[in-house]
Structure 1
């Protein structure tokens, strides 16, 4: 299998940086006290992370900085699209779930897509943290990292926001719906 080209052209890089900077400046409440120039310095030093951010952007995740980890000296990006990213919906949870379907298989699964993009699925705690920054998934839902004890039994968990409350649900990992995708995180 040929290796993916994980480098952006100069034009793609400039377009992505412009979009990220504009989003950063429009949503300062998501990252109070952080400065774009410091974020861009980190991005300039890690082109492979730019590729992953571009994949988040390409699939309509609208990645934005949501924090900074002092211990690791990393900026934290989450998908901040109002609804679950359009380019990542109608997927079951993981490869095992995909292979277990006999009929009407989806095209992909959340875990493999995230791995291919170089990002992590949000955990339930990260999803709840995201919801402190705005109202997300008011019409859609998003798979989140599922604890092993649930996954071993065939289930997976997803979250959404309804009635001004964040809900956590379960479903068979093989299920997929047009309004369910996944949100990711990336550390730079």
Structure 2
């Protein structure tokens, strides 16, 4: 059974039209050039070439954009030659909030179920939820989640006991918290990463 994905494009249609592609590449190039501190030493043209050669990754990145993530390049993996994109919106992406942590948590709720779970939505979009280390790395490049919070990848030993982790930034400090995995809040979403 397919999970609902809050308006995510049909998974059989993971291609952008040439017009959509051109428009989004323009948006991402402008963001890339405006935020050079996030990817010092990298140039846009190799990133664009990689994106154009990977239509499904281009679609995933467009889903990050559509749901309010404002994705940008945070680096390049020298081993795999992949560029690493991450959601860089000031607050947790608006189109990915009010989600419990995963499918098990969603199914455990008897009443007032959210529309989806963070892990299911990330999978449908073709992206990965940030780990704690990735979240902290992002916060070194700017100031994020001062009014919202974001689910992060939860270690199995915590999840087995019913918990899930999330982060935010308050008092100029990054905090990691725990909640029941089935909880969801209007101010909590998730941030994702994508390798291209």
Q: TM-score range by the shorter chain?
A: over 0.9
> Which aligned runs of 4 or more in structure 1 are off by greater than 6 angstroms?
none
The alpha-carbon distance between structure 1 residues 45 and 129, as it changes in their structure 2 partners (threshold 3 A), is same
1:164 paired with 2:172, answer: yes
1:109 paired with 2:117, answer: yes
Helix, strand or coil for the counterpart of 1:157? strand
Is the 2:11–2:124 Cα contact (8 Å) retained in structure 1?
no
Helix, strand or coil for the counterpart of 2:59? helix
1:53 paired with 2:55, answer: no
Cα separation, 2, equivalents of 1:144 and 1:40: 28
Cα separation, 1, equivalents of 2:55 and 2:113: 34
- Distance apart, 1:15 and its partner CA: 1.1
1:39 paired with 2:56, answer: no
The alpha-carbon distance between structure 1 residues 55 and 7, as it changes in their structure 2 partners (threshold 3 A), is same
Cα separation, 1, equivalents of 2:45 and 2:19: 20
Give the number of aligned pairs.
188
Tell me the residue number matched to 1:173.
181
- Distance apart, 1:44 and its partner CA: 1.2
Tell me the residue number matched to 2:32.
24
Helix, strand or coil for the counterpart of 1:13? helix
Gaps of 5+ in 1: none
Q: 1:152 aligns with which of 118, 141, 160?
A: 160
1:86 paired with 2:124, answer: no
Tell me the residue number matched to 1:10.
18
The alpha-carbon distance between structure 1 residues 141 and 3, as it changes in their structure 2 partners (threshold 3 A), is closer
- RMSD of Structure 2 on Structure 1 (CA): 0.9
After TM superposition, the score normalised by the length of structure 1 is 0.98
Cα separation, 1, equivalents of 2:176 and 2:11: 37
The alpha-carbon distance between structure 1 residues 37 and 139, as it changes in their structure 2 partners (threshold 3 A), is same
Gaps of 5+ in 2: 3-9
Cα separation, 2, equivalents of 1:176 and 1:97: 10
State the Cα deviation string for residues 122-146 of structure 1 (Å, max 9, x = none): 0000000000000000000000000
Q: Please say which of residues 137-146 and 36-45 is displaced more in the overlay.
A: 36-45
Helix, strand or coil for the counterpart of 2:146? coil
